[in-house]
Amino acid sequence: KEFNDVIQKMWEERWGSINPYNLVTTEQYLEDMHHVLNDKALRKKAHSFLPYLFKAVDRDQSGSISVEEYKLFFQCLGLSNEAAVVSFNVIDENCDGRLSLKEFVKLGRDFFLTQEENKPSRMFWGPLVQ
């Protein structure tokens, strides 16, 4: 619940309230993200929340995220456990079954800043487009 509240607040501050009458078009979203990518200060801010997100996802406070914790993260996003496992396996580049803070932040950052389809970071937020 708390995670959803934080995400909703961030969205509403940027694009307005979440309701059927306030639509954000693909073009508007991409234009805003293009602006973020071309401004160094905004580029840094775009992923500054990731260490805090890591702490929230690292439920047992072990300093790394397991696939089980990643499943809970995906449940907060409204995604399936199966999608979480697939995404986790793709982004766990060193195949140790854990995501460190460094890995998590790098992958989350790369998701926002990289457009390459072959990068593991493309799966960070799961199958957003099907």
Q: How far apart are the first and last CA of the chain?
A: 25
Helices (H), the chain: 2-15, 26-37, 40-46, 50-57, 67-76, 81-91, 101-113
Domains along the sequence of the chain with CATH? 1-46 (no CATH), 47-130 (1.10.238.10)
- Would you place residue 125 in the very low, low, confident or very high pLDDT band (cuts 50, 70, 90)? confident
Using CA atoms, how far residue 20 sits from 2, 24, 61, in Å, is 23, 10, 38
Question: Residues 107-117: what's their mean pLDDT?
Answer: 79
Q: What is the pTM of this model?
A: 0.66
Question: Residues 72-91: what's their mean pLDDT?
Answer: 90
pLDDT score for 87: 92
pLDDT score for 44: 65
- Would you place residue 128 in the very low, low, confident or very high pLDDT band (cuts 50, 70, 90)? low
- Would you place residue 45 in the very low, low, confident or very high pLDDT band (cuts 50, 70, 90)? low
**31 residue type, one letter:** E
